[in-house]
Amino acid sequence: MAVFEYQALTKNGKNKKGIIDADSPETAKVKIKEKNLYPVSLKEVKSESELKGSSSILTSFFRPKIKTKEIALATRQISTLLSARFDLVGALKAVSDQIRSESLKKILTKVKDEVEAGKSFAEALSDYPETFTSVYINMIKAAEAAGTLEIVMERVADLMETTEKRKSKIRAALAYPVLMMFFGIIVLVILMTMIVPKIVSIFSDMNQQLPAITILLISSSDFLKKFWWFLMLLIVLFPGLIRYLFKNEKTGYFMDQLVIKIPLFGELNKKLIAARFSRILSSLVKYDVPILKSLDIVINIVENRIFKDALLKAKNGVERGDGLAYSLEREKIFPEITTQMIAVGEKSGNLEDMLSKVADIYESETEDLIVTLTSMLEPLIIVFMAVVIGFIVFAICVPIFTMNQLIG
């Protein structure tokens, strides 16, 4: 069954937009008319894979993104309806009918039709990788296998909301330093391209040997005047270049290794990975997903190749009969306290709680570390600006003092 996006007129002549599923455009028009609407336009909604194949890069770039909080809300609503004895198709239909996001409405309607046609929920979701993350899809897959879909979906919603809150805190903390840096760069560019050239032009008329620091300032100013566009282009393209280096197989391993070795930031990345690993593994163990299957899911959602390789080796150790704690300790990817707590959990038969406590510890530590790092940014930016402006002032003042001595 296809999904169509329609635009129609009411009896009063008002425009109305909506989503409807039907076997064909003709059937869709009949259904629209049954709602006492006159169809004006009808367009079939395609999946993300079909859109990628048919649309231009520009179209895909400007395609509206669905917010994480909207997906989390829809997930929680589906979980609630499943707990109230709705079947999955009925829950998807009820949620897709009442959510506000048109983009998510289209996707959920398509997913509902695919589930109705015989696909599993996880398979239907996997057609939309830009909307549903690998974490989301793999946890749904595990939940379907274990028969605990409504419980796991509630847990997924909790994880998404927690992650979104943490991101919001980081964005709020970074807003002021980033704004400072932005305006600071603008001021420096104006100084170097408009003001400094006028001042240093005085020295060229004196026919005197200029100090090295002043020559460096003049060269930097000339370079910025000629190639400012190149620097702006580099700044715009830099995030895309970094993403490419991480995704590329040849450079990705090196980048993943580098990102966990950078002072402070490396420590933060390690703790974020450990927190995510512990929290998701705890959730899977709680719902009686076998440990090897749980490790498969967790390995699939870990993006850092260093940790992924280490976890694969640890999983092989568990397959051989070694404990999870011993296998992780041998790979030396997590601090000793982590493996000790997991060992206690394995011995006491309370692995889920121990993993949850490990996640709590790391989540608390990462929040503290994020606050520390963001609080350091502001003074660092001020020091950087002071050094650059000090350099400019000193480079201008040195030849002035030299000329005064000569005149004296």
The pair phi, psi for residue 345, each rounded to 5°, is -65, -40
CA 62, CA 262: separation in Å to the nearest integer? 34
Percentage of the chain with pLDDT > 90?
11
pLDDT at 371: 79
Compute CA distances 240 → 231, 244, 245, 257, 259, whole Å: 15, 6, 9, 19, 17
Amino acid at 3: V
pLDDT at 179: 85
Amino acid at 44: E
Nearest to 324 by CA among 305, 299, 360: 299
CA 42, CA 370: separation in Å to the nearest integer? 48
pLDDT at 403: 67
**pLDDT tens by residue, 230-283:** 888 888 888 888 888 888 888 888 988 888 888 878 888 888 888 888 888 887
Q: Which residue did the predictor score with more confidence, 395 or 17?
A: 395
Confidence class of residue 54 from pLDDT cuts 50, 70 and 90? very low
pLDDT at 224: 83
From the centroid of its chain, how far is CA 143?
Answer: 24
Q: Which of 7-21, 65-79, 99-113, 143-157 has the lowest mean pLDDT?
A: 7-21
**pLDDT tens by residue, 301-357:** 788 889 999 999 999 999 998 888 999 989 888 888 888 999 999 998 888 899 989
Count how many residues are written for the chain.
408
As given in the structure block, the two tokens for residue 303 are 């993006």
What is the longest distance spanned by two Cα atoms in the chain?
A: 98
Kindly report the average pLDDT of the chain as a whole number. 81
Whether 146 and 288 have beta carbons less than 8 Å apart is answered as yes
pLDDT at 314: 92
**pLDDT tens by residue, 124-134:** 998 888 888 87
In this prediction the pTM is 0.67
The pair phi, psi for residue 29, each rounded to 5°, is -65, -40
CA 224, CA 197: separation in Å to the nearest integer? 11
**pLDDT tens by residue, 115-160:** 988 889 999 998 888 888 877 887 788 778 777 788 888 888 888 8
Confidence class of residue 167 from pLDDT cuts 50, 70 and 90? confident
Confidence class of residue 57 from pLDDT cuts 50, 70 and 90? very low
**pLDDT tens by residue, 287-314:** 777 888 888 878 877 888 899 999 999 9
CA 122, CA 277: separation in Å to the nearest integer? 21
CA 375, CA 369: separation in Å to the nearest integer? 10
Alpha helices in 100-247 (DSSP H): 102-116, 121-125, 134-146, 149-190, 196-204, 212-247
As given in the structure block, the two tokens for residue 315 are 């999983």
Map tokens 């009969």 to a residue: 321
pLDDT at 51: 43
Amino acid at 366: T
Contacts 24+ apart (CB under 8 A), 59-68: 64/103, 66/101, 66/103, 66/104, 66/107, 66/131, 67/101, 68/160, 68/163, 68/164
Confidence class of residue 408 from pLDDT cuts 50, 70 and 90? low
Beta partners for residue 6, in sequence order: 18, 42
For residue 81, is pLDDT > 90?
yes
CA angle centred on 375, ends 369 and 377, rounded to 5°: 105
Q: Which of 24-38, 79-93, 363-377 has the highest mean pLDDT?
A: 79-93
Q: Which residue did the predictor score with more confidence, 74 or 287?
A: 74
For residue 55, is pLDDT > 70?
no
CA 396, CA 203: separation in Å to the nearest integer? 9
For residue 47, is pLDDT > 70?
no
Contacts 24+ apart (CB under 8 A), 363-371: 363/162, 363/275, 363/279, 365/271, 366/166, 366/268, 366/271, 366/272, 366/275, 367/166, 367/169, 369/264, 369/267, 369/268, 369/271, 370/166, 370/169, 370/170, 370/173, 370/268, 371/173
Rg (CA), the chain: 29
For residue 61, is pLDDT > 50?
no
pLDDT at 59: 42
State the DSSP code for 383: H
CA 245, CA 209: separation in Å to the nearest integer? 46
